[in-house]
């Protein structure tokens, strides 16, 4: 039996009421019982009401009234994706150059991060061609990222084939020319990376550090929270103008902690220290339009005494609720020594904590672990859908996805 036009009108009137129970961590057009859809998908569902439905299939709801067009488009794209494709989008992985194209096809990856060795003995033309081949191999355009902070972390510009000298550190730039120098450097860096096909720079560093003995000091702006906030705001705005993705790191603030690449770090500072200082540069970056926030592996006892920040629901709730961040939350590399003992389950724990995008070296193991967790019910597919929507929105905003 085919419904008449009066039935469609009734559904249209009642739809806002049906959607009023959406969960607080879900985009406003997705109910907790299902995935986003289009007006066409609702019509198709109505036209098959007199056929038996599979009760295990998620109910799809969407409201286009006042919705962000990027979110609506992301919802449309999500409908055509398999579970494997959705999970793959959540992995922003360390490049394995020899198998890069095969890995894209097999794992449906969301993106690649390139490190210094990937540029060694390469040319600009060679890197551009390689990145183009990766993009051509992927059905959904890839995030192509790099850590080009300047100073001690220059993955690309340290090689003469790419730039005559490495980009300077934020501290050196500021000493030479203040925020004008920071602004000009950010603009040049964005053009430099985009010219190679890189669409995400994992920067700026938002950590507040004034002690030269701190591990993070040389990578930071080296000044108090207010000045660091001005630095972050300047960089994020220039990156957004240029059309390159930005990443605020390392939430909730590194402080004087040791290197989590080589072991665990426990931060015992009072929570008010974060509110009055460490959170401020992140808040400035978020208000300036930052696309993503990277969460550290530090154990921050004032927010969670047991779990690293990257695997802590409490830390993620602070970022979503206290700082009102709506974009993509990503982990630091899940193979780092601070959480290495739980590599096989780290991805599942990260998603359960609220991460959208997982930086991973052991992605072949971790993708399978996530799929297994969904099949067992440990993770819910609607949580995956919510994260994938955020990732697709980011790609749409960057202009790499249509």
Answer yes or no: do 38 and 112 share one domain: no
Residues 157 and 228 in one domain: yes
CA atoms within 13 A on the CB side of 272: 0
Which sign, positive or negative, has the C-alpha torsion 180, 182, 185, 189?
negative
Q: Which pLDDT score, from 0 to 100, does residue 342 have?
A: 63
Residue 242, pLDDT score: 98
Cα pseudo-dihedral 133, 203, 359, 326, rounded to 10 = -110
Q: Which of 48, 74, 100 is the last residue of a domain?
A: 74
Residues 98, 179, single domain; the answer is yes
Residues 186 and 61 in one domain: no
Tell me which residue range forms the domain holding 27: 5-74
In this structure, the answer to whether residues 39 and 173 fall within a common structural domain is no
Same domain, 352 and 251: yes
pLDDT at 263: 56
Residue 257 is predicted with a pLDDT of 72
pLDDT computed for residue 241 by the predictor = 98
Final residue of a structural domain among 74, 100, 135: 74
Whether residue 95 sits in one domain with residue 29: no
Domain boundary among 74, 97, 131: 74
125 in the same domain as 67: no
Cα–Cα distances in angstroms (integers) from residue 292 to residues 57, 109, 121, 390, in the given order: 31, 18, 31, 10
Q: 156 near 146, Cβ under 8 Å? A: yes
Query: Between 355 and 61, whose confidence is greater?
Result: 355
| Segment 259-282, tens digit of pLDDT | 655 556 899 999 999 999 999 999
Average pLDDT over residues 246-255: 95
Average pLDDT over all residues of the chain = 86
Can you give the pTM of this predicted structure? Answer: 0.84
Q: Which of 249, 128, 253, 289 is nearest to 193 (CA)?
A: 128
For residues 15 and 142, give the distance between their C-alpha atoms in angstroms, rounded to a whole number.
Answer: 35
Which CATH number do you get for residue 90? 3.20.20.300
Note whether 94 and 46 are same-domain residues. Answer: no
- Number of structural domains found in the chain: 2
Based on the domain organization, do 52 and 133 belong to the same domain? no
Q: How does pLDDT run across 279-293, given as a tens digit for each residue?
A: 999 999 999 999 999
* One domain, residues 238 and 304: yes
Comparison of pLDDT for 23 and 387, the residue scoring more: 387
38 and 123 co-located in one domain: no
């Amino acid at each position: 039996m085919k419904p008449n036009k009066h039935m469609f009108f009734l559904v249209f009137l009642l739809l806002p009421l049906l959607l009023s129970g959406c969960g607080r961590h879900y985009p406003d057009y997705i109910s907790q019982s299902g995935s986003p859809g289009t007006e066409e998908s609702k019509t198709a569902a109505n036209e098959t009401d007199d056929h038996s439905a599979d009760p295990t299939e998620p109910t799809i709801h969407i409201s286009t009234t006042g919705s962000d067009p990027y979110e609506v488009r992301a919802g449309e794209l999500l409908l055509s994706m398999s579970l494997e494709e959705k999970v793959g989008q959540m992995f922003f992985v360390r490049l394995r150059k020899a198998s890069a194209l095969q890995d894209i096809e097999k794992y449906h990856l969301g993106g690649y991060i390139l490190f210094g060795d990937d540029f060694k003995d390469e040319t600009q033309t060679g890197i551009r061609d390689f990145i183009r081949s990766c993009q051509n191999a992927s059905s959904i355009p890839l995030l192509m990222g790099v850590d080009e902070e300047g100073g001690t972390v220059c993955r690309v510009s340290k090689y003469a084939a790419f730039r005559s000298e490495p980009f300077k550190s934020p501290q050196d730039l500021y000493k030479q020319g203040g925020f004008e120098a920071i602004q000009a450097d950010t603009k040049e860096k964005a053009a430099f990376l985009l010219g190679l096909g890189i669409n995400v720079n994992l920067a700026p560093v938002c950590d507040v550090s004034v002690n030269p003995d701190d591990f993070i000091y040389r990578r930071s702006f080296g000044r108090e929270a207010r000045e660091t906030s001005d630095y972050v705001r300047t960089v994020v705005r220039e990156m957004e103008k240029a059309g390159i993705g930005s990443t605020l790191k390392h939430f909730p603030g590194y402080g004087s902690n040791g290197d989590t690449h080589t072991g665990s770090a426990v931060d015992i500072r009072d929570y008010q220290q974060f509110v009055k200082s460490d959170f401020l540069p992140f808040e400035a970056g978020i208000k300036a339009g930052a696309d993503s926030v990277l969460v550290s592996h530090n154990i921050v006892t004032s927010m969670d005494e047991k779990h690293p920040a990257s695997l802590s629901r409490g830390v993620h709730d602070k970022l979503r609720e206290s700082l009102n961040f709506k974009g993509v939350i990503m982990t630091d590399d899940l193979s780092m020594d601070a959480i290495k003992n739980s590599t096989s389950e780290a991805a599942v724990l990260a998603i359960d904590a609220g991460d959208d995008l997982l930086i991973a070296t052991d992605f072949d193991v971790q993708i399978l672990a996530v799929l297994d967790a969904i099949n067992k019910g440990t993770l819910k597919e609607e949580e995956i859908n919510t994260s994938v929507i955020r990732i697709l929105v980011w790609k749409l905003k960057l202009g790499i996805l249509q």
